[in-house]
Every structure is written in C-alpha cells, then in structure tokens.
C-alpha cells in the first residue's frame, strides 16, 4: 500500500516570510495524484493545491506552489508571503490512478505563523 510521510510535525514561519513543508511518498505506480489540504482550527479540511503525476510543471495557486520531484517521490509545499490565516495543519495526500477510491494521507504538519 502507498504511504505518505510528512517528516515535520511542526513548523513555524514569520509573517510575510516563505516556508516549505515536506512530503514524501512511497509507491510503485507511475500514474497518481497528489494533494495538499489545509485544516484550520475550525477542523474544516480545505484543498490548497493538487498535482497530476504525469505533469512535469509544478502546480501553483496564488501564494502556494509545489516542488514535485517524481523520481525522488517528493511533493513539498511552498507558502510565500505567509499570512496569519495560513496557520493550520497541512496534510499531504496521495491518490492512485488505479484505485482512486482510496486516498492516503500523511500525519500532517502543524504550521504556526508568528506576527
């Protein structure tokens, strides 16, 4: 089964600075999809960004971008110009092309933003 590892339980960033959250995954598949979800204190999970593995170009969504390294099985999230509202748990997730009913999540990284 695929596993997703987030090696940073907690991260901290100064407001307006840039922070990178790490995610690695283990798979033998060639086609899959990767996601970053944000969970603020309200507990509501919100999609931040997603990437299709067959696309080499890194996805971007405003201040959020990813560094997708397929060979290294790495999918890091970069948050630029950090804002207080970015403080949350961030989960990396993997979804197979072949068994797309099963989404695998990492353990999460808690991001603190300091004013």
Partner 1 sequence: NAGVTQTPKFQVLKTGQSMTLQCAQDMNHEYMSWYRQDPGMGLRLIHYSVGAGITDQGEVPNGYNVSRSTTEDFPLRLLSAAPSQTSVYFCASSPLREGPYNEQFFGPGTRLTVL
Residues in the site for partner 1, rule: CB under 8 A? 1, 4, 6, 9, 32-33, 42-47, 50, 52, 91, 93, 95-97, 100-103, 105-108
Contact 58, 65 (CB under 8 A): yes
Cα 115 from Cα 110, distance rounded (Å)? 16
Q: Which is nearer to partner 1, 82 or 109 (CB)?
A: 109
Alpha carbon distance 98, 2 (integer Å): 12
Query: Least separation, in Å, of the C-beta of 44 and partner 1?
Result: 5
Q: Residue 48 Cβ, how far from partner 1 at the closest point, in Å?
A: 10
To the nearest whole angstrom, how small is the minimum distance from the Cβ of residue 20 to partner 1?
19
- Write down the least CB distance from residue 37 to partner 1, Å: 8
Quick check: helix, strand or coil at residue 99?
Answer: coil
C-alpha dist (Å) from residue 34 to 12, 41, 46, 80: 23, 23, 14, 20
- Residue given tokens 């390294």 in the structure block: 69
Q: Closest CB to partner 1 among 51 and 82? A: 51
Nearer to partner 1 (CB atom), residue 17 or residue 97: 97
């Amino acid at each position: 089964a695929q596993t997703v590892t987030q090696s940073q339980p907690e991260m901290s960033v100064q407001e307006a600075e840039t922070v990178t959250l790490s995610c690695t995954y283990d798979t033998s598949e060639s086609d899959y999809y990767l996601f970053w979800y944000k969970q603020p204190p309200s507990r509501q999970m919100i999609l931040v960004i997603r990437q299709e593995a067959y696309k080499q170009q890194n996805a971007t969504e405003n201040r959020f971008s990813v560094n997708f390294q397929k060979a290294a099985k790495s999918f890091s999230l970069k948050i630029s110009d950090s804002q207080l509202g970015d403080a949350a748990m961030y989960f990396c997730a993997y979804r197979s092309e072949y068994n797309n009913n099963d989404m695998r999540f990492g353990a999460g990284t808690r991001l603190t933003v300091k004013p």
